[in-house]
């Protein structure tokens, strides 16, 4: 099966400074892929190279089998792009913004009209079609940008930090939209985020740091790669227990996750930990790693 995108050994530099440093990453049609990493990691640059906005120094990018260096036009036709900054014309009505994009992609008039109607209904924007974009809320404007990106029926939608500045309800609605696209239309969704919670929603996560892909896989596989690194205790008095554990030489701390004792192979230390505490211990559990643990274990080095 032809991958939706296939990036191999991609290097992108800006004036001698390396922003993407030999990244390889591919996705099957219908996958949701998150690029997760701190600001400056190289996520935007990778997305821009994929969408042919920035030329690679070396490496290869294919979009549905089209090499972006050989046939950038064919590659671009398969991509719908939602940029980090808003790129709608605020003075123009919703529908005119869509017409403008349809023309850009050379859609014949009748086809453009039908697609504009489709996406307006699909994204619940039909009753706002005559309103200037500046009258839309931030959330609706984002929906319109996604709707616009889909006009030419791309198989791959690329979104750079799509939920920045949106409130939690609007974010949830946007994620529901993206999952619907994957489930109903088998659109591949690639997005950059620095929110761990948003990476959790992806089928595949690529953790990017200093231009390198430092770890990749499904959220479940990434978590499974990290062995449990802590015990979580419930006691009759966590404050007393924490003091006792610290005095006994354990790395104990009260967290929002409970009283944690961090150590290697925590399953072997249970008896020892319980013995160090004089207050009644009501529960001891291995704390399974979260995506946060994976992320921090990967990027804090």
- Which residues in this chain contact ligand ADP in the complex, by CB under 6 A? 14, 19, 37, 39-45, 192
Output 82 or 233, the one with its CB closest to ligand ADP.
82
Over its C-alpha atoms, the chain yields an Rg (Å, rounded) of: 24
Output 40 or 55, the one with its CB closest to ligand ADP.
40
Output 16 or 108, the one with its CB closest to ligand ADP.
16
Q: How far is the CB of 40 from ligand ADP (least distance, A)?
A: 4
Q: How far is the CB of 151 from ligand ADP (least distance, A)?
A: 25
Output 27 or 192, the one with its CB closest to ligand ADP.
192
Structure tokens at 85: 């900054």
Output 7 or 284, the one with its CB closest to ligand ADP.
7
Q: How far is the CB of 43 from ligand ADP (least distance, A)?
A: 3
Q: How far is the CB of 136 from ligand ADP (least distance, A)?
A: 26
Q: How far is the CB of 210 from ligand ADP (least distance, A)?
A: 9
């Amino acid at each position: 099966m032809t991958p939706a995108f296939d990036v191999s050994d991609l290097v992108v530099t800006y004036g001698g400074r390396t922003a993407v440093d030999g990244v390889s990453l591919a996705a099957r049609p219908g996958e949701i892929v998150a690029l997760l990493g701190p600001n400056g990691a190289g996520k935007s640059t990778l997305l821009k190279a994929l969408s042919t906005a920035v030329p690679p120094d070396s490496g290869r990018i294919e979009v549905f089998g089209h090499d972006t260096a050989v046939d950038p036009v064919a590659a671009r036709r398969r991509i719908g792009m939602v940029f980090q900054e808003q790129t709608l014309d605020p003075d123009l009505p919703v529908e005119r913004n869509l017409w403008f994009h349809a023309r850009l992609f050379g859609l014949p008039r009748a086809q453009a009209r039908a697609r504009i109607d489709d996406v307006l209904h699909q994204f619940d924007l039909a009753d706002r079609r005559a309103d200037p974009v500046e009258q839309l809320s931030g959330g609706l404007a984002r929906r319109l940008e996604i709707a616009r990106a889909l006009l030419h029926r791309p198989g791959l939608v690329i979104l750079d930090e799509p939920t920045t500045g949106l409130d939690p309800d609007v974010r949830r609605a946007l994620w529901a939209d993206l999952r619907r696209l994957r489930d109903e239309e088998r659109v591949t969704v690639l997005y950059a985020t620095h929110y761990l919670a948003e990476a959790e929603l992806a089928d595949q996560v690529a953790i990017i740091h200093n231009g390198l892909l430092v770890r990749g896989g499904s959220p479940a596989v990434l978590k499974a790669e990290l062995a449990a690194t802590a015990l979580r205790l419930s006691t009759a008095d966590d404050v007393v227990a924490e003091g006792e554990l610290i005095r006994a030489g354990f790395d104990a701390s009260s967290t929002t996750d409970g009283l944690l004792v961090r150590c290697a192979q925590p399953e072997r230390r249970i008896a020892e930990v319980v013995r160090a505490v004089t207050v009644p211990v009501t529960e001891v559990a291995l704390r399974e790693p979260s995506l946060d643990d994976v992320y921090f274990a990967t990027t804090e080095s």
